[in-house]
Amino acid sequence: MMKKQFLNLMIIGAISGGLALTSCSDDGGDPVTPPTEQEDRWITVAGALMGENPGDGNGGTMVYSVSKEEAKNPETQISVYENGFGVKSNRTARLQSSEDGSTLFNIAYTGDNGGEFSRYAVNGGGAFAQSDVSVNISQYAGTSPRWLKLFDGDKTGVALNMANIQANNAPESGNEDDPFKYFRGVATILALDLQESLIKNYVQYEIPLTEGEEAEGHAIFRLDGSVLNAAGNKLIIGTWMRKYDTETLLPTGDFERLGTKSVVVDYPSFANPTIINSTVGHGDNSGYRSHFSYLGDDKNIYQATERDPNGSHILKINQNNEYDDSYVFSLNDALGLTGVTIEAWKYVQNGKAFALISHDGADNGFVVWMDLNARTASVVDLPYDPDLEFNQYQGFVADGSDLYIAVTPVGKNGNIYILDSNTGVATKGATLVNQPGNHYIGIF
């Protein structure tokens, strides 16, 4: 049974008053507006400090902001570790930014303040002013919640958690004598009001798979990567799947995957969870520290996969909130490589996007330009280094047809690059000064 609590009386009143939600159709919803080029805005770079090992990012997160003009200038020197501001987080912070770059949003990850949401006004350089109001969501979503900002005009963030995954007859359940039926955890979906720094609502419930899938030990291990559909009445949530041994009750290693699954819930109530399945992709789609699903200009949702036995795919979810399995875009095939894994990616405009990837036979990561309509991909011409890794990458800034990214090998200097989504051409921007063991993880 779903446990649902609303922590704001105004929200309760609005919902009890009957918000009108229309069903989604192929021609429903408002037009999707691509990111407009801003005359000027802050460009915030984020760097992760090492903990015990180079590149682990477990020592905290620093941020530093420059103007767009400065970000484009290769003569600009940015040293986030010497001049930046430390945002709250025991390990790598989970950062998001407002659409105009004037505000940073953060939820601290693990530690004494894990789950604490904070807002920072961006004032240039290392000057970030924290709002007096903060909220901690750890009692609902744990001290290590996954979260993303929805593309709804900086109104809402969605935090997700899957906890207490166990068999129905696990020893701690008190039902050891029952026959095995399933592994399930309790999912939490929580909405944050980003402007007022308060919890709008949250739900907690189990999300069952089919009886046959559960009988084999399959279960949802993690939820992340949420995105609103074009009609604004459904939230699509990515999943990370796991399989357990039904006798030992321990996780299995390699297993035959079921296809790629997403959870679809009503929005804003988070009610009526259902699962949709892709037969094109067979990997997970929850992402790691960044968005893995985007609403395209054509009002369809495009979603990346990871841990896919056939290499990462871009999948398509249509305006009926179902996978379009006629759309097949394999990065292995498009690039002529094997084992392609999308570490992070960003939809820019008009079906054009960029992905940060790794692949078999290469130690370092690469930047790839993608045309989602033509289903083509090519490696962007950049100075690649054996110590370049993108597995912890978080943030991109889309500005008109341009995309700003940070490219720094672990412990070595790098640069901001401005990528033209119409041509795939990269232009070198500001120099990012590094320190041993550290790396830059995003632009916000």
What is the pairing mode between strands 116-122 and 103-107? antiparallel
What pLDDT, on the 0 to 100 scale, is given for residue 109?
84
What pLDDT, on the 0 to 100 scale, is given for residue 32?
52
What pLDDT, on the 0 to 100 scale, is given for residue 86?
94
What pLDDT, on the 0 to 100 scale, is given for residue 28?
37
The per-residue pLDDT for range 305-345, each reduced to its tens digit, is 999 999 999 999 999 999 999 999 999 999 999 999 999 99
What pLDDT, on the 0 to 100 scale, is given for residue 130?
95
Position of tokens 């992070």? 344
* DSSP secondary structure, 66-107, as one string: EEHHHHH-TT-EE-HHHH-EEES-SSS-EEEE-TTSSEEEEE
Task: Give me the helices (H) in 312-369, please.
Answer: 331-335
Contact 315, 302 (CB under 8 A): yes
Two tokens at 9?
Answer: 């009386």
**SS3 (DSSP) at 413:** coil
Stretch (H or E) spanning 111: none
Position of tokens 């801003």? 38
Contact 428, 74 (CB under 8 A): yes
Contact 380, 355 (CB under 8 A): no
Two tokens at 277?
Answer: 């399945």
- Residue 304 backbone dihedrals phi, psi, to 5 degrees: -95, 155
**Nearest of 404, 322, 352 to residue 76 by alpha carbon:** 404
DSSP state of 197: T
The residue ranges of every structural domain in the chain are: 3-12+41-443
What pLDDT, on the 0 to 100 scale, is given for residue 9?
29
**SS3 (DSSP) at 175:** coil
Distance of CA 284 to the CA centre of its chain: 12
Give me the residues paired with residue 189 across strands: 160, 203
* Distance separating alpha carbons of residues 237 and 228, to the nearest angstrom: 9
CATH class of 3-12+41-443: mainly beta
SS3 letters across 143-160 = CCCEEEECCCCCCEEEEE
Contacts of 33 (CB under 8 A, 6+ apart): none
* Distance separating alpha carbons of residues 60 and 93, to the nearest angstrom: 7
**Nearest of 400, 409, 156, 144 to residue 288 by alpha carbon:** 144
Type of residue numbered 235: L
Please give the model's pTM, rounded to 2 decimal places: 0.91
State which residues of the chain have pLDDT below 70: 1-36
Q: What count of other Cβ atoms lies within 10 Å of the Cβ of residue 56?
A: 17
* DSSP secondary structure, 17-30, as one string: T----PPP-TT-SP
**CB hemisphere CA count around 99 (13 angstroms):** 14
| Residue 112 to residues 89, 137, 138, 149, 283, Cα–Cα distance (Å) | 9, 13, 10, 23, 34
**SS3 (DSSP) at 277:** strand
Check whether the bond before 251 is cis (ω within 30° of 0).
no
What pLDDT, on the 0 to 100 scale, is given for residue 174?
86
